[in-house]
Amino acid sequence: MPAARVVAVAPDSPAASTGIRPGDEILTLNGEAVRDVIRYQLQADEPVVELEIRRGGLEQLAVVEKPAGAPLGLELDSPVFDRVQTCDNHCPFCFIHQLPKGMRRSLYLQDDDYRLSFLYGNFTTLTRFTEADLERVVSEKLSPLYVSIHATDPDVRSRLLRNRRGATSLRWLAALLDAGVEVHGQIVVCPGINDGAVLDDTLLGVLDRFPQLATVGVVPLGVSAYTSEPDMREHSRAIASAVLDIVERWQRRFRETLGRRLVFAADEYYVIAARSFPVAEDYEGFPQHENGIGMARAFEADVRAVLAGEPAAGVGPRAGFFAWVEGAPADGYRAPRQRAAPNAARRAVRGSGRVTIVTGEYGGQALAPLLPVLRAALRAPLRLLIVRNRFFGGNIAVTGLLTGRDVSDALASEPVGDRYLLPDVVLSRDRFLDGFAVTDLSRPVEVVPTDGASLVAALRGDAPDEDA
Ligand code: SF4
């Protein structure tokens, strides 16, 4: 039987008053074995919750009475208490296959679980999806979901997933859409395999078979120095431009036929192709912001709004479903980035009065045009420290994949007296991907949430005096 292990009990919570303790295992809630936090939440919302608990091998009952909808006050060790459904694919572009050995185990987990798609926004290929899963998604209204499409041609899709079930599993996408589930799709483009005419054909397939899709994100594959796949190559400027041309052509077609753009290209494409990002309105509300689509424009819009005294749109990274599910274990890539509140971030030693924003190569290209605006508005001596990703090598240039070792090495040759601002997108539970803690870095840094409003607030809070 699956069991959820309690890792923390909120003081003065309904659960605390019944004596539930960290280490206890929850076997059932109101007589139902709980497989995941989705079921847990439904039962925990009841005004009377009967918990069957195992402690030290002995089972006992605890009954909690509380207002309906009030949290029990438990933090649990995992979002899924049975087993995370792992993927049965072998995608040649899989980034997990390109991780060096020796990183923390959770990073190697190849999940393909619709529940994590709902909870975290992870993309699922649906190759292991079943009729029972469909029933549950529909009956429990688990929406939105995120589906990896890659190609609508069955042969190309099964080749990309290296799984013959890839040829047929998009039938589940059609079933989900028919049932009214909101679904966002993704196409990871691998040059020579699903770009060019294949990408064109895929978007035609979307229009023809899946027009109810909320959005489709087109993202380039990442190629690290650890890939063992000779056919996986980086996007050249010409390839990125060609992909953008196709996406923009299809945006026009989708607007004519559906009244919305539906397909959006990742920010990386505009950087690689050396083209300007689309204007903020063209992202239609930034529905795939967390997939790296529109981040640069959303960031800029927030910076400009806050500097003008207007409220920020607040399209920063979202905490997702776990923002409200009590007990957010979340060891995946959407785990809470900082345990401490942002304003409790460590303050650097004051010295030069200069402020340095630490960022990756792509982040640098998005931030550079904003520097004059920020300098003028805040009268702050401001610069960027662009850190190259030596850990992964290859074409990995997004800020979120920077490791502590690379950041620390880059900081080591920088002046001691600067304020260094580090975006929290590099952290998961206060740690970098390589396990480095912020406190291990060679210079003290202040961790700032990765959104324009937070950057302005950090700069304003400590912007040095004009005459200082
Ligand atoms: S489905 Fe995802 S996790 Fe599985 S092999 Fe493909 S890219 Fe990797």
Residue nearest to atom 6 of ligand 1 (CA): 91
Distance 91 CA to ligand 1 centre (A): 6
Average pLDDT over residues 363-390: 92
Residue nearest to atom 8 of ligand 1 (CA): 94
* pLDDT recorded at residue 349: 44
Distance 87 CA to ligand 1 centre (A): 6
> Given the CA of residue 148, which atom of ligand 1 is nearest to it?
1
| pLDDT tens per residue across span 68-107 | 988 899 988 888 888 889 999 999 999 999 888 878 777 8
Q: What percent of the chain has pLDDT over 90?
A: 68
* pLDDT recorded at residue 464: 42
With a cut of 80, say whether residue 211 has pLDDT above it.
yes
Distance 157 CA to ligand 1 centre (A): 13
Which of 1-5, 152-156, 238-242, 384-388 is least confident?
A: 1-5
* pLDDT recorded at residue 268: 94
Which of 54-63, 155-164, 206-215, 334-343 is least confident?
A: 334-343
With a cut of 70, say whether residue 350 has pLDDT above it.
no
With a cut of 80, say whether residue 348 has pLDDT above it.
no
Distance 111 CA to ligand 1 centre (A): 8
Residue of 80 and 468 predicted with greater confidence? 80
Average pLDDT over residues 393-405: 90
- The sign of the dihedral angle between the CA atoms of 464, 423, 120, 282 is positive
Distance 96 CA to ligand 1 centre (A): 8
> Given the CA of residue 125, which atom of ligand 1 is nearest to it?
1
| pLDDT tens per residue across span 412-460 | 999 998 899 999 988 887 888 888 999 999 999 999 988 899 999 999 8
* pLDDT recorded at residue 316: 57
Mutate to test the pocket of ligand 1, among 123, 161, 221 (most ligand atoms within 8 A of CB): 161
* pLDDT recorded at residue 319: 39
With a cut of 50, say whether residue 345 has pLDDT above it.
no
Mutate to test the pocket of ligand 1, among 110, 120, 128, 157 (most ligand atoms within 8 A of CB): 110
With a cut of 60, say whether residue 320 has pLDDT above it.
no
Mutate to test the pocket of ligand 1, among 117, 125, 162, 227 (most ligand atoms within 8 A of CB): 125
> Given the CA of residue 124, which atom of ligand 1 is nearest to it?
1
What pTM was computed for the model? 0.88
Mutate to test the pocket of ligand 1, among 84, 112, 127, 129 (most ligand atoms within 8 A of CB): 112
* pLDDT recorded at residue 461: 78
| pLDDT tens per residue across span 244-260 | 999 999 999 999 999 99
Residues with CB under 6 A from ligand 1: 87, 89-91, 94, 96, 110, 112, 125
Crossing angle, helix 237-258 and helix 196-209, to 10 degrees? 20
With a cut of 80, say whether residue 323 has pLDDT above it.
no
Residue of 433 and 239 predicted with greater confidence? 239
Q: What percent of the chain has pLDDT over 70?
A: 90
Distance 464 CA to ligand 1 centre (A): 47
Distance 22 CA to ligand 1 centre (A): 34
Distance 162 CA to ligand 1 centre (A): 10
| pLDDT tens per residue across span 258-299 | 999 999 999 999 999 999 999 999 999 999 998 999 999 999
Distance 348 CA to ligand 1 centre (A): 40
| pLDDT tens per residue across span 10-48 | 998 999 999 999 999 999 999 999 899 999 988 999 999
Distance 298 CA to ligand 1 centre (A): 28
Residue of 241 and 103 predicted with greater confidence? 241
With a cut of 90, say whether residue 332 has pLDDT above it.
no
Residue nearest to atom 7 of ligand 1 (CA): 94
